[in-house]
Amino acid sequence: MATLGNPTHTIEVLKKYGFSFQKKFGQNFLIDSNILENIVKAADVTKDDCVLEIGPGIGTMTQYLAESARQVIAVEIDNALIPILQDTLSEYDNVTIIHQDILKVDINKLVQEKNNGKPIKVVANLPYYITTPIIMGLFESRVPLESITIMVQKEVADRMQVGPGTKDYGALSLAVQYYANPEIMMYVPPTCFMPKPNVGSAVIKLVRYENPPVEVRDEHFMFQVIRAAFNQRRKTLVNSLGNAGLNNVTKETVSKVLEQMNLSQTIRGEALTLEQFAQLTNLLIF
């Protein structure tokens, strides 16, 4: 089987099956073998690993993963790609193809069945429109995860790893940094994809923390506070949290808590660190 990491082979496969790209699935296939090799290397995939690939497309990266991993589970939403994957991956007996929407898959059950509940590695070239729900779904559902290595829009990768006071800092930055240590591994230009996206991409690796870096009494409530703080990011915390309809949170309580934390009454959410959000949450609960 010819590896798919080059434009000629990709075009051959697409022609053979009369495949047309679906805008609704945000499909952009990688056609650069160096990048593909580097992603597998960045994900640190070894023969001990069970890898979950989200959106394998025509199986380009799946082939590279199958060469390096013990087992690959590829979850693809697009019906038209299933026969193509069955063809391009026919030589690999360590690949399972699942035709489903990743947001509806019980990944915990899958990990139990395929990897005895031991942590898996997630590797994916993610459709941009659905990046955040997928990442948050993986973290919040407590899937046994070692790391997530994903290709995303450059801007989203930047957002995941920035700190307070920057324009990209927001709820996604805080959520990712609560669960994992993010590191951008490489930037990838539009020319490495077919069709070419309108934006640059980046590969970011999120290594899951065993324990979150901050202690918070109610994780769910902290994320409600964070979302409320950034929903209207130009407003002060007193106003954005005081008007958010959060349980027992009024402008007066926020004002008092900020005083306890020695923070200005006019401070905005974008100025607070993850530690400060945890402290703010713990103080608001009591």
Query: What's the pLDDT at 47?
Result: 97
- Measured CA to CA, the distance from residue 165 to residue 268 in angstroms comes to 10
Least confident of 50-54, 97-101, 175-179, 232-236: 232-236
Query: What's the pLDDT at 254?
Result: 97
Mean pLDDT of 236-260: 95
Q: How far is CA 227 from CA 97, 170, 180, 183, 230, in A?
A: 36, 8, 18, 23, 5
Query: What's the pLDDT at 127?
Result: 78
Instruction: Return all residues near 170 (Cβ < 8 A) that are at least 6 apart.
Output: 159, 230, 233, 270
Q: What is the dihedral of CA 56, 61, 63, 67, to 10 degrees?
A: -130
pTM over 0.75: yes
The rounded mean pLDDT for the chain is 93
Mean pLDDT of 241-260: 95
Least confident of 15-19, 28-32, 161-165, 198-202: 15-19
Mean pLDDT of 169-198: 94
Q: What is the pLDDT of residues 103-129, one digit of tens each?
A: 999 999 999 999 999 999 999 998 777
C-beta of residue 205 within 8 angstroms of C-beta of residue 162: no
Q: What is the pLDDT of residues 46-94, one digit of tens each?
A: 999 999 999 999 999 999 999 999 999 999 998 999 999 999 999 999 9
Q: What is the DSSP string of 126-155?
A: --GGGHHHHHHHHHHTT--EEEEEEEEEHH
Q: Which domains are seen in the chain, by residue range?
A: 7-208 (3.40.50.150), 219-285 (1.10.8.100)
C-beta of residue 41 within 8 angstroms of C-beta of residue 60: no
Mean pLDDT of 8-19: 82
Q: Which of 63-97 are b and which e, b meaning 16 or more Cβ less than 10 Å from the residue's Cβ?
A: bbbbebbebbbbbbbbeebeebbeebbeebebbbb
Q: Express as a percent the part of the chain with pLDDT over 70.
A: 97
State the pairing for strand pair 145-153/201-208: antiparallel
Query: What's the pLDDT at 148?
Result: 98
Q: 113 by DSSP, 3-state: which?
A: helix
Q: What is the dihedral of CA 62, 64, 70, 72, to 10 degrees?
A: -10
Q: 280 by DSSP, 3-state: which?
A: helix
